[in-house]
Structure 1
Amino acid sequence: MKVSLLFPPSWHPSQPYLSLPCLTAFLDQAGITEKRQRDLNIEMLDTILTRTYGLLVYERLVDKLKQLEKTREGEFGPGSDEHYAKVVEALDRFPHLIDEIEPAKASLRCEEFYDINRYRECLFLIDRWLEVVSSIYFPTRLTVVDNQLSYSIYSSRDIVKAVKDEEQNPYIELYRQYFLQSILDDQPDLVGISITATSQIIPGLTLSRLIKEANPEIHVTIGGSIFTRLVDNLRRCERLFQLTDDFIVFEGETALLELVNQLAGHKNFAKVPNLIYRHEGKVIVNQPFYSENLAQHPAPNYDGFPLNQYLAPKTVLPVQFSRGCYYKDCAFCALTLDHQNFRQKDPVKVVDELQYLSKKYDTPFFFFTDECLALSPARRLCKEITSRNFDIQWTAEFRFEKNLSRELLTQLRDAGCHKIVFGLETYNKRMMDFMQKGITQESVQRICVDCVDLGIAVHCYVIVGFPTETQEEALETMNFIVENTNLNSSYGFSCQPCLFDLEKEAPIMSDPGGYGVQRIMRPAAEDLSLGFFYEVKEGMTPEEAEKLYQYVYEKISEVVVELPFNYSMADGLLYIARHKKQHAAEFSSVS
């Protein structure tokens, strides 16, 4: 059995994603030797950001212009006056961008990355370049981290159309020209495609469709958190099985291994945990869903990932201490669905793995992807790191727990923690209680002060528009950020306001009336919807919340340095590490 694991666009280009390295390491441990993993997201971006590709784009733009001069109709949409104007604009920009795009990519991979003006200029150039490329496929819009097509990613009918649309879907041509043949040349029996973000749905399913069309004998399975949240939808959505053989939901290590074994043996797919597949005209969901024993899992394996192609001068590796959330009572949060229960590795084992990864991939930089680190194990982790004199630099997510003491924060800092990500959501006392955050204003204020004093950067997520929230309550949260100069002016601070979404698996959905939601709606065509429209009994309406969110976003943006800290946690970690190194004397004097 030969296995190929593929991570499709679009994802952030600064660092690899953790899913495939975990699966690869698990297959290694089980003795599956014939396998390959590829990050097609960074491979594709690296291809697009070249002069060679640009010259092909230029020819396509000239041909498209000639075509539109003869055939364009209407003011808006594909083949319209608007499309024609986009192509003209792209050709006008092209001569400048073609000479700048490769130097911009190179700058982000070297010391020029740390020149914030050059960093900003490079990201701007790449964005403009992708806009030029997108004009061929108008109205599709590609960005570094996303893609927007005219199709709804929440409609299976639209998705089936999108993955076949040669005019608007750029991934069809890109896969065929640069990647499909090399995937087929590996002669895999099984291809696994990881779809962990909505931005990967159309690119990932396009890839699956092309592989199946090229060789129907290849078994293709889709994994990742997106379809974990759509288990019930997949039961009623047979058309997606035109594009792939099956889906693995929730955690995938044991499921993937058993799928490999069944494909090599009796092909009894009923024995594959967490598998959703079609059998005799029916969609079968294998339950109960399986949870992994992390104590038996090895360190992730990043072999095969082009670590020198990411748009950063140093490698930042994602790692995991635990799965699930130890708190999991927040009323708005659907993330806890991805992992059914909270489990964690032994801190000694985690530090062993970190040292192994640091040496193997020559990096001290790590990003803990845990939903939030538990305090007692984090304390043991810090003691283990410092006792070994292990030089590690990292970021992780914690809760604003009252027990997150200054003493523990000091231990975190001394163990190399440069930044902590917090889910603040609200600074209003009533809303904290209503959201069941389990935190207090006093803890938030004290922990922020301690972090700034100790030189630990802070990130705060903020939610605007949770049901029953008033404008005054939302502005109290905004003012905590905007008026808190000590916090918002501290090096590395970032804050991301988000507009509340009523997500299908969030705890609030178990009692919407109790949270002030009186009517829930979903468009009939959106059979893959991850959320709902709704009406409320009191507080801001969704429309009022959206308007206030724009105001809050603008005000917070005035005091937050967007680049690099609000753009990428990995990029921000590298900037903070450089800053600390340059100011080592200052930080060493902080108690």
Structure 2
Amino acid sequence: MKILLVTPPLTQLNTPYPATCHLLGFLRSKGVDAEQMDLSIELIQTLFTSKNLKAIFEKAGALPKLSKQNKIMLQQADFYIQTIDPVMRFLSERDNSLAQRFSNRDFWPVNKRLPSEDDLEWGFGAIGNHDRAKHLCTLFLKDLCDFINQTIDSRFELIRYAESLCLRLPEFAPLQAELEKPLSLIDELMLEIFAKRITESKPDFVGFSIPFPGNLYSALRCAQWIKTNSQNTKIIFGGGYINTELRDLTDPTIFNYIDFITFDDGELPLLRLLTGGEFIRTFYRDSSGIIVRANFESKENIKFSESGTADYDGLLQNNYINLIELTNPMHALWSNGRWNKMMLAHGCYWGKCAFCDGSLDYIGRYEAAPIELIVDRMEAIMQQTGQSGFHFVDEAAPPALLRKLAEEILRRKITVSYWTNVRFEKSFTPELCYILSQSGCIAISGGLEVASPRILKLINKGITIETARESMKNFAEVGIMTHAYLMYGFPTETEKETIESLEVVRNLFEEGYIQSAFWHRYAMTIHSPSGQQPETVGAKHIDTDKGSFANNEIPFTTSHEIDLDFYGKGLNLATYNYMNGAGYDIEVRKWFK
């Protein structure tokens, strides 16, 4: 039996999303004939060519009405068509000689995104031409994405596809209605690439990893094609979106498009499907049209230490592109650089935060492996990819494990760069931060969440503002950049506490203890402690009918309601300025005028 593992459009474009790589490594270690493709980057590389841009501009030019901005872009179509191929070569680092030309502000047409010379000088200085050119090329692509979204396909965004359609989808019918519509130009390009691969590979199974809502529509479009053109091929869905949203699925309609849905870690469910073993954590539709939930509650899993080394075979030829949307160097790590993605440990060693999906396996089952094995995997991946940068995508990397990692890297005398997610706890002493820096740690991200002592205690974060500040300070003093995850709208949070949280964040930026931050709006989920026991955080569920398709977010009320749209705008505007080194002297209340 042969399986093709697919990452459907669209995910980040600078590096492979890790799911299929890890599954491929495991399945091949068990003797399974497996391949993978990143349909996301392949679509972008096909879309952003002079040939296809010409077709897009011609189609847009036939529309009866265009906005003023889109009319201007249509008038500049020749520039975009002749420039797109060199831009894509440069962003994929196949032609770095273009940096000098692309870093010149005068090269680009004037538009709403084009920054001033002063802003460029502030962000990149006199010799940062390569990153400056990446930034301007990124803005060029974003302008094109806006044009495509507003004229050709309203579902299209640079790293998402039809996300708004699938964000909250309690019933399958709206998505089914979209799937019954004629193909868009983007759909046609995607299916042309996909069909060619299926024809060449001839897999018995195709497994789609669906990490985000923005991957679901495109995966189903591909599944449609298989059902029409390759009826003997079985289709499997799995991934992060599936694990959080479809656990209570009761509408069998999706099985008109697919054959199986697997949950939680995919290694064992896929192995059983492919080798004829007993199904585990797998949904399928039986002959009477009923959904069968095969061994859904089973806790049996492949040990983390036995899950194998990620395999990038099939992805190394892809021209991933590096993007810099903001001049902030910490923010750029998510989109700039081809990072090898790994986990130091499975799950979260804390696992108690009230807002987090701690009841799900990917968080709730903490399991580590010997650090020697982890570094062996790092060295094997470096040998395969030729890249020495690593992003450890742990829920939270334990300080003790990071110490062992750093010591093993130093012992082996290997040169790497890495970054990961942590909890801002007191264990990150100056001495530990120094060792991490010496071993190659360049950045960390972590959840400060709500910078309010009362709310931090309510969400059971297990840290204080003081300990978080101290650990951030220790990271900063050894040159490790820090990104803070922040939250607003937690039940019972007051306007005063929201504003005071921003003041804490302003101070952290001004002191240089954090370089980047992002505010997430709190959502109550069915898998979190706050969702399962809302009264413990001062909230109450709003009674609604349970959806037959996707179920994750729970509507709720709380004793103290604030205008979250209003405060969210102020928080994000202030933090955007802080990330660009501005606005520290503005009193925080003024951001909410």
- TM range, normalised to the smaller chain? 0.7 to 0.9
Aligned equivalent of 1:499: 521
Deviation per CA, 1:243-300, whole angstroms, max 9, x where unpaired?
Answer: 11110110101111111112xxxxx7xx121211111321111221433201112210
- Of residues 73, 77, 80, the one that matches 1:97 is 80
1:125 has 2:144 as partner: no
Q: Is the 8 A contact 2:267 2:307 kept in 1?
A: no
Aligned equivalent of 2:451: 427
Judged with a 3 Å threshold, the aligned counterparts in structure 2 of structure 1 residues 398 and 35 are, in CA distance, closer, same or farther, namely same
Judged with a 3 Å threshold, the aligned counterparts in structure 2 of structure 1 residues 367 and 53 are, in CA distance, closer, same or farther, namely same
Aligned equivalent of 2:181: 165
- Of residues 564, 568, 571, the one that matches 1:552 is 571
Deviation per CA, 1:201-220, whole angstroms, max 9, x where unpaired?
Answer: 11112111211221121000
Deviation per CA, 1:534-587, whole angstroms, max 9, x where unpaired?
Answer: 21112x33xx1231111011001111049xxxxxxxxxxxxxxxxxxxxxxxxx
Aligned equivalent of 2:365: 341
- Of residues 169, 172, 175, the one that matches 2:190 is 175
Judged with a 3 Å threshold, the aligned counterparts in structure 2 of structure 1 residues 164 and 481 are, in CA distance, closer, same or farther, namely same
Question: What's the offset of the Cα at 1:101?
Answer: 1.8
SS of aligned partner of 1:531? coil
- Of residues 344, 352, 369, the one that matches 2:393 is 369
SS of aligned partner of 1:463? strand
2: CA distance, partners of 1:521 / 1:51: 52
Judged with a 3 Å threshold, the aligned counterparts in structure 2 of structure 1 residues 528 and 438 are, in CA distance, closer, same or farther, namely same
Question: What's the offset of the Cα at 1:501?
Answer: 1.2
Deviation per CA, 1:362-414, whole angstroms, max 9, x where unpaired?
Answer: 11101001111112222111111111111010001110122222221111111
Q: Which amino acid aligns with 2:290?
A: K
1:411 has 2:445 as partner: no
Question: What's the offset of the Cα at 1:31?
Answer: 1.0
Q: Is the 8 A contact 2:6 2:208 kept in 1?
A: yes
Aligned equivalent of 1:321: 344
Question: What's the offset of the Cα at 1:133?
Answer: 2.9
Q: Is the 8 A contact 1:499 1:546 kept in 2?
A: no
1: CA distance, partners of 2:391 / 2:165: 34
Question: What's the offset of the Cα at 1:128?
Answer: 1.6
Question: What's the offset of the Cα at 1:181?
Answer: 2.9
2: CA distance, partners of 1:149 / 1:276: 24
Q: Is the 8 A contact 1:466 1:500 kept in 2?
A: yes
Judged with a 3 Å threshold, the aligned counterparts in structure 2 of structure 1 residues 290 and 297 are, in CA distance, closer, same or farther, namely same
Counting only pairs closer than 5 Å after superposition, residues 432-447 of structure 1 correspond to structure 2 as: 432-447=456-471
Aligned equivalent of 1:512: 534
Q: Following superposition, which runs of at least 4 residues in structure 1 exceed 4 angstroms of deviation?
A: 83-90, 485-490, 521-526
1:37 has 2:47 as partner: no
Question: What's the offset of the Cα at 1:57?
Answer: 2.1
SS of aligned partner of 2:456? helix
Question: What's the offset of the Cα at 1:431?
Answer: 0.7
TM-score, length of structure 2 as denominator length: 0.84
Q: Is the 8 A contact 1:225 1:338 kept in 2?
A: no
Q: Which amino acid aligns with 1:190?
A: F
Q: Which amino acid aligns with 1:551?
A: G
Counting only pairs closer than 5 Å after superposition, residues 51-66 of structure 1 correspond to structure 2 as: 51-62=50-61, 64-65=62-63
Q: Is the 8 A contact 2:476 2:513 kept in 1?
A: no
SS of aligned partner of 1:173? helix
Deviation per CA, 1:163-212, whole angstroms, max 9, x where unpaired?
Answer: 23226x55431233332132233111010000011111111121112112
Counting only pairs closer than 5 Å after superposition, residues 36-435 of structure 1 correspond to structure 2 as: 36-62=35-61, 64-65=62-63, 69=64, 88=71, 91-110=74-93, 111=96, 112=99, 115-138=130-153, 140-148=154-162, 151-153=165-167, 154=169, 155-166=171-182, 169-234=184-249, 236-262=250-276, 271-280=278-287, 281-287=289-295, 288-306=298-316, 308-312=318-322, 315-334=338-357, 337-339=360-362, 340-435=364-459
Q: Structure 2: state its 5+ residue gaps.
A: 104-127, 323-335, 582-593
Aligned equivalent of 2:558: 536
Aligned equivalent of 2:590: none
Deviation per CA, 1:39-64, whole angstroms, max 9, x where unpaired?
Answer: 000010011111121122234334x4
2: CA distance, partners of 1:171 / 1:290: 40
Q: Which amino acid aligns with 2:565?
A: E
1: CA distance, partners of 2:426 / 2:189: 51
Q: Which amino acid aligns with 1:195?
A: I
Q: Which amino acid aligns with 2:137?
A: C
Q: Is the 8 A contact 1:6 1:193 kept in 2?
A: yes
2: CA distance, partners of 1:6 / 1:389: 36
Q: Is the 8 A contact 1:163 1:172 kept in 2?
A: no
1: CA distance, partners of 2:3 / 2:290: 27
Q: Is the 8 A contact 2:398 2:422 kept in 1?
A: yes
1: CA distance, partners of 2:180 / 2:315: 28
Question: What's the offset of the Cα at 1:529?
Answer: 3.8
Question: What's the offset of the Cα at 1:308?
Answer: 4.9
Question: What's the offset of the Cα at 1:353?
Answer: 1.0
Q: Is the 8 A contact 1:432 1:439 kept in 2?
A: yes
Q: Is the 8 A contact 1:521 1:532 kept in 2?
A: no
Aligned equivalent of 2:495: 471
Q: Is the 8 A contact 2:424 2:472 kept in 1?
A: no
SS of aligned partner of 1:505? coil
Deviation per CA, 1:514-547, whole angstroms, max 9, x where unpaired?
Answer: 2121242557778414313221112x33xx1231
1: CA distance, partners of 2:245 / 2:309: 29
Q: Is the 8 A contact 2:39 2:190 kept in 1?
A: no
**Bigger shift: residues 276-285 or 111-120:** 111-120
1:13 has 2:6 as partner: no
Aligned equivalent of 2:588: none
Aligned equivalent of 2:329: none
Aligned residues: 530
